[in-house]
Amino acid sequence: MSNTNQQWGGRFSEATDAFVARFTASVDFDQRMYRQDIQGSMAHAKMLAKVGVLTEEERDAILGGLQEVMDEIERGDFEWSVALEDVHMNIEAALTQKIGITGKKLHTGRSRNDQVATDIRLYLRDEMKVILGELTRLQQGLLDVAEREADTIMPGFTHLQTAQPVTFGHHLLAWFEMLERDHGRLLDCLKRVNIMPLGAAALAGTTYPIDRAYTAELLGFERPSENSLDSVSDRDFAIEFCAAASLLMTHLSRASEELVLWTSAQFDFIDLPDRFCTGSSIMPQKKNPDVPELVRGKSGRVNGHLISLLTLMKSQPLAYNKDNQEDKEPLFDVIDTLQGCLRAYADMIPAITSKKENMREAALRGFSTATDLADYLVRKGVAFRDAHEIVGKSVAYGIEQSKDLGEMELAELQQFSDTIEADVFEVLTLEGSVAARDHIGGTAPDQVRAAVGRAREVLAAR
């Protein structure tokens, strides 16, 4: 029995197999939750003293011992043991070693099942606040660049074909809107993360007169959970977070694809600082946009973890099962990946340099003001379908002659409709085209600046 875990080995007649001990241990990865585990234990001890299960002296001894353990861990002096399986039992064993039998009283009225569920929620809550902060920093950077580039004209695309001219600032505000939805989803998820399962014990609650509302208040939870069975087995909050993270990473991946395209020689719309790029070991001319490419790749990693957690939970009967040990590594990796990608983007986006002339020249190609010509004809009384046909024939002529609409002479345009007059060139310019979209959500420079102002108010109110 000397090799059996003394925290639970009373009914066992032989030691756990050495391989099984290593195979079932989680301390190598769940030790990152040490701070939350100690925080939860301190609150639990205070509650036990409040309801009379512990004396004040026992409470103070436990709190002092836990603080010593915390200090040891943060100094790097703590020795983690695989034999003790997880972060919880390592800390409890260290506490008992420091303060004696009183340390064994800490686990009164709780189980590892509700303890780990509480630790994960506390940990995720802390990390989500970091993520939300980095997301806001990225959004602030986008607004700065969008305001700076409010007048910079570039081609807008559908099907990756030139469609209509837009401003670079307007394009970046589209990214902002995606991220704003992500921010809202994370905040909404946080409401469900911030429910306290502690007190559910193994699965049925406890016979001790615990005060769960008091513990929840100490730990900053909105309220205790309602059902003990669900409390210890629920991982919806982790899945929901990973789903929100997957969408956020999808948005960063889409932005990454555009950054990669824009930095290519074929587009040459922007420049990324050298510190966000790498070179080639064989081609000396290369400047590779590795940060956007890697973020694009990491989106698949996060999506995979979401599927992993969904699959983990899909066949579990109530209540807790050992399967749930497999929830942590995917969740932790999603947290780490998301924080890293957001930090990289928040640092990189403000450093983007636009190549305005290249963007403008690209917008002049591909008949990007064709819709403006159709709208011009409609305002002159031509039915839209007829205007569409007229412009289509004008474009076909332009392709033959290698001329954009704005490069044609008035007589050339009038061969397709005598409704066209000299004022048509006001709408065929790129500046005229973007300025005409002067409404909320439009690409007009004044609207871009107004949208930036509204967005800044949103961020300031957080």
Q: Which amino acids are annotated catalytic?
A: 159, 280
Q: Whole-angstrom Cα distance, residue 363 to residue 170?
A: 14
Residue among 97, 7, 88 at smallest CA distance from 44: 88
Q: For helices 112-148 and 236-263, what crossing angle results, to 10°? A: 30
SS3 at position 163: strand
Listed in order, strand segments (DSSP E) in 247-378 are 270-271, 353-354
What count of other Cβ atoms lies within 10 Å of the Cβ of residue 424? Answer: 21
Residue among 215, 33, 212 at smallest CA distance from 122: 33
Residue 203 exposed, middle or buried by CB count within 10 Å (0-12, 13-18, 19+): middle
Q: Whole-angstrom Cα distance, residue 145 to residue 116?
A: 43
Q: Whole-angstrom Cα distance, residue 218 to residue 50?
A: 12
β-strand partners of 354: 270
Six-digit token pair at 53?
Answer: 């299960």
Q: For helices 236-263 and 168-193, what crossing angle results, to 10°? A: 170
Q: Whole-angstrom Cα distance, residue 323 to residue 273?
A: 45
DSSP 162: E
